[in-house]
Amino acid sequence: MLAGGVHGIFCLGSTGECAVFTPEESFKIVQHVVQVVAGRVPILAGITETSTKRALLLGKLAADAGAQAVVLAPPYYHKNSQDELLEHYRTIAQELPVPVVAYNVPVLVKNALEPATIETLAREGSIIALKDSGGDANILREYLMRTEDLPGFTVLTGMEFLVDTALQMGAHGCVPGLGNVAPREYVELFNLSVQGNYGQARKVQERLIKLFDICYQGSARISASASALSGFKSALRWLGIIETAKMAPPMGSLTAEEEEKVREVMVSLGFLIE
């Protein structure tokens, strides 16, 4: 990731199997990332949990391990009102020693962060940034319009397929799960977009969309299947970065045949040389 030129590291995100680790495992992961990165880029750690109390526990562990900020989606399991979410974020912002980045990812947590909620939290200083993985360009634009006058407030997209579009709309960057496999290409996409070279940016974006086929193998073809994340791990294994594509239970792992299909996708697009 660092060799690819990324501007920061987000550990314990959705791609990182955050929902299946124990607090102790999460602490060790953040601690290890901090040691490896050694201050070269900022480190953000995910602390999404089912309650304010649980999120605070993870947040304090992440801060103790050395994370510079925490990333927090709304609680999952229960359906929460926007007023409840406001209090959730405010309490965590007040009690943690590091800043909070809000994370809109309703497909995983059921509770969406409405633009008015983000604006309120941003203006009062409870959050310093937003990662939006909602997939709705209309809502992303409203996030941007409501916060564009706030100096330093950052809006990031987590939608791998829409990075060029989001940056043209005024987003400040991206946090793509596929960036674990192709960090250089996403940095290139960011740089081209910032430079206004949207034609070339679109070509890079479309190549990355084709690469996402690594997540559509076997049972991963089921919409939002947990095993889709094994496609990322399989790609990293083929690149020689990790040793196994096995997922933490109960998340499914790809078979050897499915992993071979991942390799074929990478070779066909030039991300892996045979």
Nearest to 126 by CA among 106, 155, 145, 102: 102
Say which of 60, 131, 233, 261 is annotated catalytic: 131
Distance CA 4, CA 185 (A): 8
Count of CB atoms situated within 10 Å of the CB of 104: 26
Side-chain-facing half-sphere of 223: CA atoms under 13 Å: 2
CB-CB contact of 170 with 148 (8 Å): yes
**Annotated catalytic residue 203:** no
Cis-peptide into 250, omega within 30 deg? yes
Say which of 60, 89, 103, 186 is annotated catalytic: 103
**Annotated catalytic residue 103:** yes
Count of CB atoms situated within 10 Å of the CB of 199: 9
Strand 173-174, strand 100-104: pairing: unpaired
Identify residue 182 by its one-letter amino acid code.
Answer: A
Q: Which residues are catalytic?
A: 103, 131
